[in-house]
Structure 1
Amino acid sequence: MNAPPFPIRTGCPPGACICGRDALLEDPRADLRILRLTREEEKRLIARLESLASLEDLRRMEQRMFEQLGIVLTVTPSANEVRTTRGIAIQVAEQPGLCRKTRQAIPAAIRRSMETRPEIAYALLNARDLLSGT
């Protein structure tokens, strides 16, 4: 097992997570970018997601998360009626090395940002023509 040249996330307690971090480290062809998300970096990422300013900012963060960590984030309005931010589907794709708690924290941070700045949710809905007639 070769250690990557950057600091990596420490392992979760046994039985607490099914992220597959150890298997990822053992695979020589694995994409190790997700392991750069240490607990401190995760806190910074969550704080950054909570302070989104616009839909463009959200889209930039989606792109940067994919480029730097390999995280696939999908934010779309529900096909049904959207009354609150709960009606917006925010999904983080499963991937080896991505902790379960992180997969839950990212959408929660984006929802908090949308509740603080509802114009982000409105712009998302408008981009899908859900508010074009109002």
Structure 2
Amino acid sequence: MNLSTLPVRPPCPPGACICEREQLLDAPGADLRILRLTRLEERRLLERLESLQSLVDLARLQQRMFEQLGLRVQVQPGATEVRSMRGIRIEIEPLPGLCRKTRQAIPAAIRRALERHPAMAFELLNSHDLLRDA
């Protein structure tokens, strides 16, 4: 992939991040899609995540994040009892080039969407058969 024609995220300040951006750029044949997530694009992604209306929207956005950025996000109920949105586990698979702040901001945006639309959280729990006896 030719990065000179695409806008790419500028490097983080030295020592402030663990994104391994430079090692990714130096690795031959590395997947560089995540570097297309500029700060402006990250802001747009977070806004879209916060404005989710349903699990279908979430699944579609998860698929697009993987296709366009190589980013896998898993959203599922935690192993123990779910009493609040904190009980829902949101994991991002390790991906070289993904900024530490972005790694934290994506789950936070999804949690805010779930808090705004509790029906989404119930639908998520029901999709994992946790509300079958309720």
What is the CA RMSD across the aligned residues, in angstroms?
A: 1.0
Structure 2 CA distance for partners of 1:79 and 1:3, relative to 1, 3 Å? closer
Gaps of 5+ in 1: none
Q: Which amino acid aligns with 1:130?
A: L
Q: Which amino acid aligns with 2:107?
A: P
Q: Distance in 2 between matches of 1:103 and 1:4?
A: 25
Q: Which amino acid aligns with 1:83?
A: R
Q: Distance in 2 between matches of 1:4 and 1:79?
A: 44
Q: Which amino acid aligns with 1:54?
A: S
Deviations 1:43-70 (A, max 9, x none): 0000000000001111111111011000
Q: Corresponding residue for 1:111?
A: 111
SS at match of 1:58: helix
Q: Corresponding residue for 1:54?
A: 54
Query: How far apart are 1:5 and its partner, in Å?
Result: 2.7
1:85-124 alignment runs, 5 A limit: 85-124=85-124
Q: Corresponding residue for 1:83?
A: 83
Query: How far apart are 1:4 and its partner, in Å?
Result: 4.2
Q: Distance in 1 between matches of 2:67 and 2:38?
A: 16
Q: Corresponding residue for 2:33?
A: 33
Gaps of 5+ in 2: none
SS at match of 1:123: helix
Deviations 1:79-105 (A, max 9, x none): 211010100000111111000100000
TM-score, normalised to structure 1's length? 0.96
Q: Which amino acid aligns with 1:91?
A: E
Q: Corresponding residue for 2:44?
A: 44
Q: Corresponding residue for 1:20?
A: 20
Q: Which amino acid aligns with 1:123?
A: E
Which segment is superposed worse, 2-11 or 41-50? 2-11
Aligned residues: 133
Query: How far apart are 1:40 and its partner, in Å?
Result: 0.2
